[in-house]
Amino acid sequence: MALSKWGVETEAGNGSEPPRIFHDSIGRQAVVSTALISIFRGRFCDLVLPNRKTTTFKKDDVIYNMGDEGRNFFFLQSGFVKVGAITTDGREVIYDVRQGGDVIGELCATEQVRPDRAVALEQTDAIAVPYAEIMDILRRKPELISVLIDVFSKSLKEAYSQVNMLALDDTVHRLIKILVGLATRIGRPSGSLVEIPTYLTQEEIAYMAAARRERISTALNTLRRQRMVHYSPRGHLVIDVDALESRLA
């Protein structure tokens, strides 16, 4: 087994590259999405959310799908959502997991037709806000523009690092960076460790790492034997962030 230039596993010796699990357009979507999510938080929430209806989505409900034309942002009030896409050959890609306090659907700011999809990982409450109303707030609050540019620039740097990780790192290093990233973004303290507070299957982690599930399973078992990764009684990943980061040094 070998790695292509995109970090995607290939069968050694066959002389061909498989369908790209994380190809160019989806890579760009991940970059823009990661940047925009940081923008529509905090003060924006205070301006747009009061007196709006909350919608509840059950586990595995599709909140919006690729190809949809509805241009709504969804401000998550609780729960967890995976955001990603489906490639032309039917493979799922997950480029983020978001929780209450985050925003999904922000790519409708750049595309008339949705290029991504969002699926509830567990029961999730969200408030939909039309894109047109978001833009109206920007027009009425020009002082937010400089803040948006600063946040956008910093977030783009982080997003490009994620794309480089998928393109260049081997499976174990990609997995470690994904676990550390999840612990940083949505993790909750569990003694000296950090728990990922929603259940992720090995297949879903593989979709995030652009790797085969079997390879992720092997890598997870290796990290478990080294006591860097554990499972809670509910099946949640529990991470020794310091130990994992030491593997990256």
The identity of residue 240, as a single letter, is: D
Q: Identify the pLDDT of residue 189.
A: 95
Say whether 169-248 and 24-158 share the same fold: no
3.40.50.300, 1.20.1250.20, 3.40.50.720, 1.10.10.10: which CATH number matches 169-248? 1.10.10.10
- DSSP annotation of 228: S
For the chain, what are the domain ranges? Answer: 24-158, 169-248
For 177-184, the CB contacts below 8 A with 24+ separation are 177/248, 178/205, 178/208, 178/209, 179/229, 179/237, 179/239, 179/244, 180/239, 180/241, 180/244, 180/245, 180/248, 182/97, 182/237, 182/239, 183/239, 183/241, 184/241
pTM summary value: 0.78
Contacts of 155 (CB under 8 A, 6+ apart): 34, 35, 36, 37, 38, 39
CATH T-level topology, domain 24-158: Jelly Rolls (2.60.120)
Backbone angles phi, psi at 10, to 5 degrees: -130, 160
The pLDDT tens digits of the residues spanning 106-155 come to: 888 778 899 899 999 999 999 999 989 888 888 888 877 776 666 566 66
